[in-house]
Amino acid sequence: MGTDDYSAPEVLLRDPAPFKSDIYSLGLILHFMMAKDLPNYVNNVKTGNFKIPSVYSKNIVELMESMLKKKPAMRPTVRELLSSEIILMTIEKFNISTSDDSLI
């Protein structure tokens, strides 16, 4: 159990926490990095209406929104995240090695 502010809805409800609960937490961190604030559950997460500054690309905002889906089954897997366009562009830009599949 981590900090409630960074926990997925299912964790807060004390439901079984699948691996995708961690994806949700990563989405919260990404949101915090872009908006400099955590999303309000009632106003943002529940409605899917996130207020992100317009300086960010549509790709990164869509990635964050997919990570913050209320239902775990709707969130991407780690493999899906790593194969997303924005992540692949970042890997290429910074010449990050992806030869170690143990990271996935």
Report the candidate in 89, 90, 86, 50 with the shortest Cα–Cα distance to residue 69.
50
What does pTM read for this prediction? 0.74
- pLDDT of res. 25: 86
Q: How far is CA 44 from CA 6, 14, 49, 92, in A?
A: 14, 21, 5, 32
Q: Quick one: fold of 4-76?
A: Transferase(Phosphotransferase); domain 1 (1.10.510)
Domain ranges of the chain: 4-76
Q: What is the pLDDT along the chain (104 residues), one digit of tens a residue?
A: 556 666 677 666 666 666 788 898 899 889 889 988 777 665 555 666 777 888 999 999 999 999 988 889 999 999 999 899 988 988 888 887 766 655 55
